[in-house]
Amino acid sequence: MSLCLENLAIRKASGEELFSSLDMRVEKGEILCLMGPSGCGKSTLLDAVAGHLSGEFAYTGRIRLNDVYLDGVPPHKREVGILFQDDLLFPHLCVWENLAFALPDHIKGAERRERALQALKNIALSKLADSYPDQISGGQRARISLTRMLLAKPKVALLDEPFSKLDKTLRTQFRDWVVEQLKEANIPALMVTHDVEDIPPGSQLLTWPWNAVQEEAANVDSVGIKVVRWPLSQTAKLVDSFGITANQTTVAGFLIGCLSLPSLMFQQYELALVFILLNRMLDGLDGALARIQGVTDAGGFLDISLDFVFYSLVPFGFILANPEQNAVAGAFLIFSFIGTGSSFLAFAIMASKQGINDPVYKNKSLYYMTGLTEGSETILCFIFMCIFPIYFVEIACVFGAMCWFTTSSRIYNGYQTLARSIIS
């Protein structure tokens, strides 16, 4: 099951082109997000897929859903579900009647009510069955609206800024719930948004100009994130229920990580490895908590600052363990960390100043530049050092060289990006 756009172009009746040569494919269970300035054709593209394209526009190319070309297929036969920023519930129908409206015609009588009530039970809103839309909260209406769409059993979901009218905390929770529902339905989804915070982790992203789908960088960080995202999110929900904040978790992780310094100094490498791994686990947990409680600049600053201190602390510990053997290699590695850290932070400051958003790590507090030596690769290096401490010099030199490759590429790519931003 997939949605494919083949060489799609949309033009106004006047001949003005919104976009052209758009090729993309969204597989079942995947979400592709569209970002771009107002008027570039994001919502118009959704209209074309749904079959509601205004007479003011025309398109060329092909739209294919599950190997069936939709060009010329009437909207009501396309089996497309749409979720707008407004819930569009019928005000004269109660909640269960709104849900029943979406059910296929072959479901009759009492079964329609039973199906609607079961759907409400599945989302823990059974008590609202006989309420009317103006009697329930915005978040409840949003959940019911998505449930209604999914009850129609669409083969593809189109989401047009579905989170924009919700407050920040509710947006994050509702976004995660929507992603879970869409993955459970196992259908492709196409989402339009103006806000990078609305982009689900791990989704594909198409930014203006639409010429290439961007995915999370193919490094150890991106692979690791996909593996640990679900267990971290579940743990974060439990920790959040005890009132523990993301910032408290950040500080606790840093203090535990600091215990690796005396462990390394006294050559207790296995114990140091335990503290390093605990530090990283809590570093991932604080991010998951922040996505529940709300990402803040203060929390991002704290997390980034303590991370860089921790990264330099580990090679310093190996220097203290054996100064004669490890001093030069350890100093070189710390020197290399200064390069990766400064190139990252310098670009983040300029990117924020120019309003450049990060399409790769949407939930980071700063623009997160990718590279060969990210956080997970650095921790992997530390693990090898603790397991094979006699090879510290060799590992430090190799990883330090990799860091300078990352630094050089960041400086070049960052300069080019900022230069193009100024010109445009």
110-146 pLDDT, tens digit per residue, is: 899 999 999 888 888 899 999 999 999 888 888 898 8
Residue 323 CB-density burial (10 A; 0-12 exposed, 13-18 middle, 19+ buried): exposed
Range with lowest mean pLDDT among 63-77, 167-181, 301-315: 167-181
CB 303 within 8 A of CB 365: yes
Give kind and range of the element (H or E) at residue 4. strand 2-12
CB 146 within 8 A of CB 159: no
pLDDT value of residue 86: 80
CB 216 within 8 A of CB 360: yes
pLDDT value of residue 333: 96
Structure tokens at 386: 């603790």
Whether residue 293 is predicted with pLDDT greater than 80 in this model: the reply is no
382-394 pLDDT, tens digit per residue, is: 999 999 999 999 9
Whether residue 39 is predicted with pLDDT greater than 80 in this model: the reply is no
Q: Which own/partner contact pairs does 42-45 have at CB distance under 8 Å and 24+ positions apart? A: 42/192, 43/160, 43/192, 44/10, 44/18, 45/8, 45/10, 45/19, 45/190, 45/192
* Nearest partner of 284 among 240, 237, 228, judged by Cα: 228
pLDDT value of residue 358: 47
pLDDT value of residue 311: 93
Confidence class of residue 306 from pLDDT cuts 50, 70 and 90? very high
* Nearest partner of 338 among 303, 373, 299, judged by Cα: 373
Structure letter (DSSP) for residue 70:
-
Highest mean pLDDT among 17-21, 290-294, 330-334: 330-334
Give kind and range of the element (H or E) at residue 316. helix 297-321
- 220-241 and 375-387 helices, crossing angle to 10°: 90
Average pLDDT over residues 211-215: 47
Q: How far is CA 217 from the centre of its chain?
A: 12
d(CA 138, CA 141): 5
Q: Which residues pair with 83 in a beta bridge?
A: 159
Which residues are CB-neighbours of 391 under 8 A, at least 6 positions away? 384, 385
Structure tokens at 188: 């492709």
Phi/psi of residue 191, each to 5°? -125, 135
Whether residue 355 is predicted with pLDDT greater than 80 in this model: the reply is no
Structure letter (DSSP) for residue 217:
-
- 323-354 and 297-321 helices, crossing angle to 10°: 160
pTM reported for the whole predicted model? 0.53
d(CA 297, CA 250): 14
Average pLDDT over residues 97-107: 88
Which amino acid appears at position 175 of this protein? R
Q: What domains appear along the chain, each with residue ranges and CATH number?
A: 2-207 (3.40.50.300), 220-423 (1.20.120.1760)
Confidence class of residue 412 from pLDDT cuts 50, 70 and 90? confident
Alpha helices in 186-296 (DSSP H): 220-241, 246-258, 260-265, 269-293
Preceding omega of 37 cis (within 30 degrees of 0): no
pLDDT value of residue 48: 92
Which residues are CB-neighbours of 143 under 8 A, at least 6 positions away? 123, 125, 174, 177
Range with lowest mean pLDDT among 124-133, 260-269, 329-338: 124-133
d(CA 347, CA 414): 6
Query: Taking the CB of residue 45, how many other CB atoms lie within 10 A of it?
Result: 27
